[in-house]
Amino acid sequence: MRMKRLYKSNKNKIFFGVIGGIGECFNLDPVILRLLWVLITFFTGLGPGLMVYFVAALIIPKKLQQE
């Protein structure tokens, strides 16, 4: 059994494709993940949530080809 790799999504993205890529990797609806991220970021403060998102955007690779 081959494990799925985490990539930024090319087709399901709003800013950088981070949350879309997480949704594709774990077979979750990206809309639900985005809502959860907004709620968590709102209730914990904008700084940490935005910082985590931008760090993820820097370290998660782009998907170069269809796998």
What b/e sequence results for 28-65 when a residue is b if at least 16 CB atoms lie within 10 Å of its CB, and e otherwise? eebeebeeebeeebeeeeeeebeeebeebeeebeebee
For residue range 3-48, what is the model confidence (pLDDT) as tens digits? 789 999 998 889 999 999 999 999 999 999 999 999 999 999 888 8
Helix (H, G, I), strand (E, B) or coil at 21: helix
Nearest to 40 by CA among 28, 52, 56, 22: 52
Give the model's confidence band at 64: pLDDT under 50 very low, under 70 low, under 90 confident, else very high.
Answer: confident
Check pLDDT > 80 for residue 67: no
pLDDT the model gives residue 40 = 92
Q: Mean pLDDT across the stretch 43-57?
A: 92
The structure tokens listed for 12 are 């399901």
Q: Are 51 and 58 in contact (CB under 8 A)?
A: no
Check pLDDT > 70 for residue 66: no
Sorted by where each begins, the domain ranges of the chain are 18-59
